[in-house]
Amino acid sequence: MFQEFEKIEQQIAQHQAQIQQLEEQRMLVERKKQAVIAFDKALVNLAAEYSVEETDMYVARGDQMVDWLLSQLDDEGAPEFVQSLKTRMARQIKREGEGGRRTRRSNNKARVNGSQKPIEPKLETGHYQNPYTGATVEKKKRNPKSLTQWIEEHGLETVKAWKV
């Protein structure tokens, strides 16, 4: 019976030691939190005093931020926002990669539902005159080859403005 009592007393002592360690960790985190808040306030005050914008500070520290982010990419203990940024960047790179392949394959024309038929830019029927060459083209149902080339060179909105 006394052995059980002593065993329970030892467990209580161990748990109290763990509680003490957790309390110390909590105090340390709280102190860091207060330091970050104080640092942020001081930074805002200095920026106002010297007429520095937030973007100026990011630009000035850009290389260090990029180096730090790169060092965090493979770190399991990295902050959650690093993983979120990593996921977003991978998604963006994938989109750009698909766009690049689509552009090369289809000669700057988007595809419809994966089919091989390109989507033609939407232009109203009528006559279009290129102000650079003076050439005039009539669009009826489909875009003539020269009109499609103009769109690729100058952009759809610019060519729309050439309607006469």
- Which sequence spans correspond to the domains of the chain? 1-59, 61-119, 126-160
pLDDT of 120 over the 50 cut: yes
Instruction: Cite the beta strand spans of 25-130 per DSSP E.
Output: 126-129
Residue 18: pLDDT band (50, 70, 90) is very high
Closest CA to 99 of 113, 111, 84, 82: 111
Backbone angles phi, psi at 84, to 5 degrees: -60, -45
Residue 140: pLDDT band (50, 70, 90) is confident
Residue 104: pLDDT band (50, 70, 90) is very low
CA–CA gap between residue 50 and residue 38 (Å, rounded): 18
Strand 136-139 to strand 126-129: parallel, antiparallel, or no bridges (unpaired)?
antiparallel
Residues 46-84: tens digit of each pLDDT: 988 998 888 888 889 889 998 998 899 888 888 888 888
